[in-house]
Structure formats: C-alpha cells, structure tokens
Amino acid sequence: MQIAGRAIRPALLTILAIAFSAVAGPWDVAPPDGNPAMTEALHWLSSPSRFDAQYNFEMTVQIRLLFFWTGKDDVGAGYIKVGQAADDPSLEVIHLLFGSDPSKAHGINRWGAGTEVVKRGTAGAAESSAFMGFMKSYNNDSVGAMRQELSKEKTAGQHRFEAIISRADPGRAVSTTVPFYSDRDFDYRDLAAAQKVVEDRLKDGQERKFHVLEGPSMGCHRQAGFLSTVQELASDALEGQHTPIELCYLYNSRRYTMTLESTRPVPEKTVHFTLSDSKRKIEHTYHNLQGARFLVVNQTTGGKTDFEILLGTTGDLRGAPVQINYQPNWWFQIVLNLQPSTAASAGGR
C-alpha cells in the first residue's frame, strides 16, 4: 500500500470514532432552493461509487467507575468503504458506518454513518469537499446521565437524531443541519430505514438550520474536510515527519484545526475479537505499527478532542488503521479494532 493518495484513506475512518456524525448515500434529497453549489454537492454524494476496499471493525468500550475502568469486547461494529465516483475518478468517496449494539452495551445506542466526497484537481489538491451525515446523539456527561436520558427517551417514545449536509469551496463554506426526533430508536443495523426518515426530513426543509462562512472569516485556505485532513496527517506520520504538524479544515461551516502531536513506534499490538458465528474469543497480534496522536480544536468554542490511531507500516497493512482509540469524555472510551480477515483481504488495494 502506498503512503500517499487514495491508498491511505482507510486510516480516515476516525471521523466516526470522533463524531459518529453521518449517513451513507445514495440519497434522493431536494437541495436548498437557489443554491447551485449545494445542488452539485448532492449530485456528488448521490452518484454511484466504485469501491476499492472495505475494512471491517469490532468495537470495544471502556467505562470508568470511580477509580477503575471496566470494559467489554464486541459491543458494536462497523466498516469503512473507500473508492471513487463511478463516472468521475476525480471524486474520492468514503462511506462509513459505526455504532454500539444496545443489546451488548447496557442499552447505550450511539452510532452514525457518513459519506464524504473530495473533488481533486489536476495536481491532486482538494478543490472542494462535500459531506452528508446522520447521527444518534446524546447530551450528557456521565454514565448515570446517559442512562437517565435513555430511560426518558424510551418512556416518551422520542429518540433524538441529527442530519447534516455541508460543502467547502475556496472562499465559502455552507451547511444545513436537521435535528429531529423519531418514535423508533434506530441502531446501526437499521441504516436503510433511518436513512428514509432523514430523507423525508431533509425534503420538507421545515427544520433546517443554515450556516454560511465566507471570505476572511473562514480563516482556512484548505477545502479539505475532516477525512482528507486525517489522511494528510496520517501520511506525514508514516513518512516520519517532524511533529507537531497543524492543518485547518472546515466542518459544518466552522473552522477547526487538527494537529499531529506525536508519533511513536509500536513493535506489536494484540487485539481481541469475538467470532460472530460461534461467539468464540480469539486474539490476533499485529506487528510493526506506528502510533499517531491527534488533537482537534474547534476554533469557535475552543473545545478540544484527541485520539490515537495505530497505523500499519509494512506490506498490505501499510497505511491501514489497525486500531483507533478515542475517549470522548472522562468516563467513556471507544476502541475500534481492525478484523484480521479484513486486513488480509483489503490491504494494498
């Protein structure tokens, strides 16, 4: 697998570990009236794709109880698919889906899926990017608060979701979000049904909130989105570039910075899996990895998020995200492990 270009894109699934913020296409959604840029973006997002690889992952979670952590393997799953638009190879496409399984995660239903498209110019630079997403979200800061919210949702029969469409171009970024409630608590296995609800909400447009960022206020010359930014910094990590390295990007018409803070060699890492057919526990050891630690800062709110990716460095695994570690708050940690069969079959394509 090559370091640069499309080959390293599997490392970009980190967006789900960080935000759980999207829904995969194709979509049939009416664009905002009088907005040709968003019309084009929706065309990119809904075009048929040709995927080069699919990487499957198993999710482990750790929950902090007072002074110690307790965890459980096989509490969720997901995948990332990478490729290009079938009719336009300059459009790089990333589809992903990740989520917890409520039946295995003490009722916690946290998931999302997404599509990002990057329009590349002749020199390979990102000319524009578009993103369409959907998530099941919570607003809480402890295990107890999350369980109370879950109980309240179940009692009321109303479950909170949010959808977003965004585009970034030179000198302008525009996005629209649609928060809404559903009487069905979709989980990550219900993508098709959830997607239909999102389509209906986006079509009626009654709950849309628009965000526009233009001119000097953008404060970022790059048109790449979150995924493309992780791609570039992950490439720097594999090349052994001196850290820290900081890049800006735009998400939901807001400016962020992402910093590759540090890298470290990891000689080996053993991960645990549960076979879905037999429920048998197995383990697999990956060798010659590169750990890369990232920091994301919301330049509007000052909010910070950090995460780490263990990247393969040799053979078919070069550039592949072997493991992703993300701790969204003090009490909850998510670990995504690349399934060995996926690593063997998809690497290097």
Higher pLDDT, 286 or 183: 286
List the end-to-end C-alpha distance of the chain, in Å, as a whole number. 7
Residues with Cβ within 8 Å of residue 234, at least 6 apart in sequence: 8, 11, 12, 292, 309, 311, 319
Question: Per residue in 64-108, pLDDT tens?
Answer: 666 655 667 788 888 888 889 999 999 998 888 888 888 887 777
| 30 pLDDT higher than 60 | no
State residue 343's pLDDT score: 55
The model's pTM is 0.80
Range among 23-32, 60-69, 310-319 with highest mean pLDDT value = 310-319
Ranges of each domain in the chain: 5-346
Q: How far apart are CA 324 and CA 312, in angstroms?
A: 12
State residue 140's pLDDT score: 54
Question: Per residue in 213-239, pLDDT tens?
Answer: 888 778 898 998 888 888 889 999 999
Q: How far apart are CA 72 and CA 52, in angstroms?
A: 32
State residue 143's pLDDT score: 58
Determine how many CB atoms are found less than 10 A away from the CB of residue 155.
8
